[in-house]
């Protein structure tokens, strides 16, 4: 378990939220399945009360983005928790207000992004049903925004995107 996963599960425990770790996502087939694959992909954290699979992501690779996009489009609730990329915007379609004060250092910015996502999770009981029901779509929109920001960064550095 990563330090970020420990930080999240610690907060969930502190708030009396029931969770499991490394629970298989209910998939029989998926694009990256091979003949050697014995089990379906696992989510890092699962909240049984909300039937919510949570993927905790560090650095985003192309493969990770592809998998997250695929998993967010399925028939279950899927939440992407991003904790190392300042380009990740957890405020998109959140039911919580965006914090007024945002830390100006990179570490402060990342802590604010992480803390905001933890707040979303520990307050799901108070969240509107539409947020919980649309959580996979919201995660997908956040992922799409992240990719767009990264492509814009590429264009700024290298010119047109190919």
Q: Which residue has the tokens 């992480």?
A: 114
In sign, the C-alpha dihedral spanning 58, 64, 67, 72 is positive
Residue 109 has pLDDT above 90, yes or no: no
Q: Which residue has the tokens 């990563």?
A: 2
Alpha-carbon gap, residue 89 to 149, rounded angstroms: 10
Residue 102 has pLDDT above 80, yes or no: no
- For the sheet with 52-57, list strands across it: 20-24, 42-47, 52-57, 77-82
Confidence band (pLDDT; 50, 70, 90) for 161? confident
């Amino acid at each position: 378990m990563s330090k970020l996963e420990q930080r999240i599960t610690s907060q969930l425990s502190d708030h009396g939220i029931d969770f499991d770790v490394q629970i298989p996502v209910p998939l029989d087939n998926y694009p990256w399945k091979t003949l050697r694959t014995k089990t379906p992909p696992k989510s890092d954290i699962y909240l049984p009360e909300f039937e919510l699979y949570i993927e905790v992501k560090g650095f985003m690779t192309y493969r990770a983005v592809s998998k997250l996009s695929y998993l967010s489009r399925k028939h279950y609730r899927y939440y992407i928790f991003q904790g190392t990329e300042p380009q990740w915007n957890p405020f998109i379609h959140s039911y919580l207000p965006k914090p007024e004060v945002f830390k100006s250092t990179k570490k402060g910015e990342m802590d604010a992004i992480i803390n905001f996502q933890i707040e979303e999770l520990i307050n799901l009981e108070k969240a509107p049903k539409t947020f919980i029901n649309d959580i996979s779509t919201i995660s997908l929109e956040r992922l799409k925004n992240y990719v767009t920001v990264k492509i814009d960064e590429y264009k700024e550095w290298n010119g047109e995107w190919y």
